[in-house]
Every structure is written in C-alpha cells, then in structure tokens.
A and B are shown apart, each in its own frame.
Chain A
C-alpha cells in the first residue's frame, strides 16, 4: 500500500538547511490503521505532505499502490490525490461558500463523476458519518464535530485507497474528538486504510500500529 524507503527532504530556513526527513522508511499495508506520532517540528507534516502527494521527496523511493511517486508533474500528482487519497485536516478545510453536501460532492466533480452517481455517493458518504440532517447548511452553521464529519465524508466519497488524517481531533473537545475517532474505527472495520498523524499519545494508541517520528527519523513503536 504505502512503501517509503530512505526518503529525505531538506528545507532551507535562512542559511541553515533543515533535514525535515532523514532517511525515513515506512510501510503501511492494505486495511491497516496506522498512527504517526511526534512532537511539532519533528517532520510529521512533511511526511504527511509526501505521503499525501502534496509534495515530492528529494531522494529515496515512495510507492503508493505499487506506483512509484517520483518526478511527477503537478498535474499527475493532482490526479493521484484525486483517485487515491482522502484528506482530513485539523482545521476541517471546508470551502465556506459551499454547503455540506456540495463540499462532499467537490472531489467527485474533479473526478468527473456523473451527476446521478455523485448524488448517490454524497448521500452514502454523509450517512456513513451519521450526518444526514444538516447537509444543506454552510460550514459556518455547523459545529466543529459536524464540520469534521463533513470533511470525513468528503474524504471517503471519492473512495480513496488511503485516508490521510492530520490531527483530525486537534481542534475538537475530547468528547467530540472521541466521536470522530469512533468514525475512523468504523471506517477501518469497513476495510479502509487509514494513516493518522497526531501528537496526542492517547489518540495514537487507538491505532493498530504507532510509528514514532523525531527529528526527521522514523521508528516503529510496539502497540
């Protein structure tokens, strides 16, 4: 599913080069629920950007569904993101002018799915996150938990191989956060592959497997 081998990424911050990822290697198999945990500045955002095909590595190999992701043009990366990856962000990242249902529909529009099919899949995705009542509301009219449910519905509507969640509970209170985590558990039981990035050990522990990242180096922690 995901295979990273000796991936390096260096940023230039002023004069100093910063090794955000230093020979990171990592494997995630189909249907796994993996958490990546590390303090801020540990390189986990960079790791997520590379796994999410938002950015490419300086060196090393990355295989997603056995496809090597290197030297791709931005458009090819966009296509891979569209088909294979569903993002869930800490700050929800819904488009404020669009209603909940329209936000969920958007990735399907970019995939050029037909209208009737889109409508069916939007309803299905919203049902899976148990949000059916307020689907014609704008994000600003929804609570944080509800917004994150919409974001999850948006991620799963495109039927990606991988759901990539970046601190999905970071902006929520612990109770709502747990609700969201329960949705991830359900999705996992439904056969989805999930990579969850967090700095919170109690969230990380809920995954099958935890991977620790510190100063750009990755190491596996026994659950």
Chain B
C-alpha cells in the first residue's frame, strides 16, 4: 500500500501543472464546503449566544394535573436549595383593565415572586423589583414596565403612584427598563405590563389559587439546562405518581428554535451546493484519469509483462485518483483556514469568530476520499482490464 502511494506521488509529481489543474476542482469544492458551513455555523453560534444571553436558558414548567399534590411557592423555595437549579419563580398571568386617574388601558398582569427578575434578566429603571416581603405580607404593590409608566401615568419616574387594576389599588414600587438585554423586555416593550406578588394575584383573580400551575426555573451556576431539566423531571415524576404526562418542561425559546431550524436548513443547502461542486471536481478527476490511462497504455503493458496482476494495476490507478483527491482536499482545507482567518480579521468589529469546525473538515475528508474511489474506479478498471499484448504494442 505504501508502495502504491509512493508510486502515485511519483507519477503525480511527474506532471505537476496538470495535477494541480485536476485538483483545482476539488480544492474549490472543499473550500466552498468548509467556508460556507463554517460561516453559517459561526453566525449561528453568535446569534444563539445572543439569544442565550437574553434568557433562553430558562425552563418553563406547566403542571396540568397535580394528582392531589399541588406545587406551592414554598415547594419552589425548597427546590431553590438544589445545586441543579438557580432561581425558581411561579407565574400566572391575566389581562386586566388598568386605570390611573382618567387614563385607562389594557394591561397584562404577571403574578410572581422576587426571583422572576433574575430568571428573566429584567433590569430596573427606578425603584425596585418585587421582594420576598411583598409576598409574605400580601402587599398590593406593582412593578410596571417603562411603556406602562409613560403611557398610563405619563412619566417614567412614577414611584408611589397608585394604579387600579380591575378596581384594586396597587402602588408602583418600581419601573423596569425597556431594553434589548432580555427577550422578555423585548417582547413586552410594546404593551403595558405589571408584575405583582403572587399572593396578591390570588386575591385579584378568581382563577388563580395557591396551587402553582406554571413556573420558571433557570439552571444552577454549575449545571447545564439539560441537567436542571433532568433533575426537575425526576422530582416532578416522583411527586405526580410517576405520571410524566402530568407536567411539561420546555427550555427552547421559540425564537432560538426558529433560528436553529433556519440556519440548519441554510447549512444543509449551502453544504449541498458545495457538495455538488465537489462532485463536479470528481468528474474532472475521472476525465484526467481516463486520459492518463490512455497515455500510459504502454506503461501498463510493461508492468503487466513483468508480473503486475490486474488488481495491482487497479490499485495503482485507484490510489493515484485518491491521492489527487486527498491532496486537493488538504490544499482546500488549508485555503479555507486562511480565508476564514482573513474574514474573522476583516469583520473583527462584529466580534464574530469564524472557526473551522472539525465536523465539516471530517465530512470534507471523507467525501473527497469517496469521490476519489468512485471516480477513480472506472479509469482504474479500464487500465486493469487491458490485455498485456495490446497494451505492450500500443503506439509502437
């Protein structure tokens, strides 16, 4: 085998220019494949990072059937001691009519507890978010978003003002910043939103009881979202009589999953186009190999006369095709690496890093290998099947 590779290298280096031109198809194909896929995955990585920073590492839990063992706020507080979990917060929501003086508006109320701000990465503009004491004392206080403050009250710095939510008075203790640091604030920035203690929400709404049917969890500092999900599933399954249908967990942010599916389709599409160019490169190799076989008919005859069997000739030409492919592949990968480095430098302002992913390199190498085999087989077989006398007397 090593001998065949040495022979192949020898005959390729005998005609460097032609070998390079033959390889060019493969080089371009590999570069297209590696660069496009790396660009897409680099951009995707950047976008998903951004989304993760916006709070996609949270897990949403819905309990549909509590089986007589309802989850309460004290359960959530107890689970917060677990290493796998970060903060946990219940959430209940309802649309209400909000009044401030003569101004009215439709406002969405969220009943929750203090950890909610951490999970959703909300930031406070003035005042404070809900506190543990608000929950214990059933305080009728609310934290509203910037939109609600400006549209309903008229100005942002409206601490101490009182809103009427479905007729019930709530004192404003904090105003949240509408910014793009959290997905929640992005989504809710156009509408009026208020957060009130969960205990107060129970009083406000008829449909909400102390039984928590929906809550948010984020993963603990040392653990992943998956680990937190696994631990939570374990706890809840044990609690609800081994019935895994009694609750549902979801961690994928809708936006993130949409992004992922779009970019993976993009990667497959671009990768597919690049793969086609690789196949075209393979056809080029087959073409040149056929020419080579005809040119070297006499050499094949000599080799056969001095004892080369069919399989040895086949191996020789097949190895030659594969070596050309793999050399092209190596040059292509090298070129892609250079181009990606260049792109990363040029767009360094965007802080996107375009790394060459090991996966796509592996795909390129394996693909090139098979192209070499597939497109080398026909010419090699043609060489191997030549009758020794005909080949020997070819061209004199």
Mark each residue of chain B from 277 to 303: 1 if its CB lies under 8 Å from any CB of chain A, else 0: 000000000000000000000110111
Q: Which one, A75, A93, A109, contacts B305 given CB within 8 A?
A: A93
Q: Which one, A54, A74, A98, A107, contacts B10 given CB within 8 A?
A: A98
A:99-117 near B, CB below 8 Å: 106-107, 109-111
**B11 within 8 Å of A by Cβ?**
yes
Do A87 and B389 contact each other (CB < 8 Å), given the known contacts A109-B3, A110-B312?
A: no
Q: Which residues of A contact B303 (CB under 8 A)?
A: 95, 106, 110
Q: Which residues of B contact A97 (CB under 8 A)?
A: 10-11, 14
**A52 within 8 Å of B by Cβ?**
yes
Q: Which residues of B contact A5 (CB under 8 A)?
A: none
What class of interface size applies to chain A in its complex with B?
20 to 34
Bound-state CA distance A141–B11 (Å) is 18
B388 CB to nearest A CB, Å = 5
What class of interface size applies to chain B in its complex with A?
20 to 34
- Contact across chains for A79 and B309 when beta carbons are under 8 A apart: yes
**A55 within 8 Å of B by Cβ?**
yes
Q: Which of B11, B307, B308 has the most CB of A within 10 A?
A: B307
Q: Which of B298, B310, B392, B396 has the most CB of A within 10 A?
A: B392
**A67 within 8 Å of B by Cβ?**
no
Q: Which of A79, A97, A107, A158 has the most CB of B within 10 A?
A: A97
B:1-23 near A, CB below 8 Å: 3, 10-11, 14
Bound-state CA distance A54–B14 (Å) is 29
Q: Which one, A78, A91, A95, contacts B304 given CB within 8 A?
A: A78
Q: Which residue of B lies closest to A49 (CB)?
A: B389
Do A78 and B389 contact each other (CB < 8 Å), given the known contacts A95-B303, A97-B10?
A: no
**B350 within 8 Å of A by Cβ?**
no
A4 CB to nearest B CB, Å = 17
Do A78 and B307 contact each other (CB < 8 Å), given the known contacts A54-B389, A55-B389, A91-B396?
A: yes
- Contact across chains for B389 and A110 when beta carbons are under 8 A apart: no
Q: Which residues of A contact B392 (CB under 8 A)?
A: 54, 93
**B306 within 8 Å of A by Cβ?**
yes
Bound-state CA distance A81–B3 (Å) is 21
A96 CB to nearest B CB, Å = 8
- Contact across chains for A107 and B307 when beta carbons are under 8 A apart: yes
Bound-state CA distance A106–B302 (Å) is 10
- Contact across chains for B309 and A110 when beta carbons are under 8 A apart: yes
- Contact across chains for B306 and A82 when beta carbons are under 8 A apart: yes
**B311 within 8 Å of A by Cβ?**
yes
- Contact across chains for A95 and B312 when beta carbons are under 8 A apart: no
In the complex, number of A-B residue pairs with CB atoms less than 8 Å apart: 66
Do A95 and B307 contact each other (CB < 8 Å), given the known contacts A49-B389, A54-B388?
A: no
Q: Which residues of A contact B396 (CB under 8 A)?
A: 91
Q: Which residues of B contact A94 (CB under 8 A)?
A: 302
- Contact across chains for A154 and B306 when beta carbons are under 8 A apart: yes
Bound-state CA distance A65–B178 (Å) is 98
Do A52 and B305 contact each other (CB < 8 Å), given the known contacts A74-B310, A91-B396, A93-B392?
A: yes
Bound-state CA distance A55–B301 (Å) is 12
Do A75 and B310 contact each other (CB < 8 Å), given the known contacts A54-B305, A97-B11?
A: yes
Do A95 and B302 contact each other (CB < 8 Å), given the known contacts A54-B389, A75-B310, A110-B309?
A: yes
B299 CB to nearest A CB, Å = 6
- Contact across chains for B311 and A75 when beta carbons are under 8 A apart: yes
Q: Which residues of A contact B388 (CB under 8 A)?
A: 54-55, 74
Q: Which residues of B contact A75 (CB under 8 A)?
A: 309-311
- Contact across chains for B310 and A87 when beta carbons are under 8 A apart: no
Q: Which residues of A contact B312 (CB under 8 A)?
A: 78, 110
Q: Which one, B299, B305, B311, contacts A87 given CB within 8 A?
A: B305
Mark each residue of chain A from 84 to 95: 1 if its CB lies under 8 Å from any CB of chain B, else 0: 001100010111
Q: Which residues of B contact A55 (CB under 8 A)?
A: 387-389
Q: Which one, B11, B306, B310, contacts A107 given CB within 8 A?
A: B306
- Contact across chains for A78 and B309 when beta carbons are under 8 A apart: yes
Q: Which residue of B lies closest to A80 (CB)?
A: B307
A-B contact pairs, 6 of them (CB 8 A): A54-B304, A74-B310, A74-B387, A75-B311, A98-B10, A154-B306
Q: Told that A83-B307, A95-B299 touch, could you supply 20 new A-B pairs with CB distance under 8 A?
A: A54-B304, A54-B392, A55-B388, A74-B310, A75-B310, A75-B311, A78-B304, A78-B312, A81-B305, A81-B306, A81-B307, A82-B306, A87-B305, A91-B396, A93-B298, A93-B392, A98-B10, A107-B306, A110-B312, A154-B306
